[in-house]
Amino acid sequence: MPNYIIYCKPKATEEQVQKVRQDVLDKGGRIGHEYSLTGGISITFDYDEDIIKPFYAHPYIQRIERDSEFATQ
């Protein structure tokens, strides 16, 4: 299952962020955690990693990162 964090543009309105959420759901994705401090939304798709490609051109998205575990020693 590919997991990503989508970061909306800093000046995105709540309506625009909601549009991003709805677009993820419409493509079969699931919303995980929302990071209010950074404007990030954790998303998961159960299939086909290529499903994320159209989101790179989304007008309200600043960047997309593959979600991964982070550990400190």
36 is written with which tokens? 């209010």
Domain ranges, residue 37: 3-66
Kindly list the distances between the CA atom of residue 71 and the CA atoms of 8, 41, 55, in Å, as whole numbers in the listed order: 25, 20, 28
Longest CA span, the chain? 40
Answer yes or no: is 71 within a domain.
Answer: no
Q: What is the rounded distance in angstroms from the CA atom of residue 53 to the CA atom of residue 10?
A: 21
Residue 24 sits in a domain whose CATH number is 3.30.70.80
Helices (runs of H) and strands (runs of E) counted in the chain = 1, 4
Answer yes or no: is 8 within a domain.
Answer: yes
For 18-62, how does the pLDDT look when each residue is reduced to its tens digit (9 = 90+)? 999 999 999 999 999 998 888 899 999 887 778 889 999 999 999
- Model confidence, pTM: 0.83
Check residue 69 and give its pLDDT. Answer: 72
Answer yes or no: is 72 within a domain.
Answer: no
Answer yes or no: is 62 within a domain.
Answer: yes
The phi and psi torsions of 41 (rounded to 5 degrees) equal -130, 120
Q: In total, how many domains does the chain have?
A: 1
Q: Is the pLDDT of residue 3 over 80?
A: yes
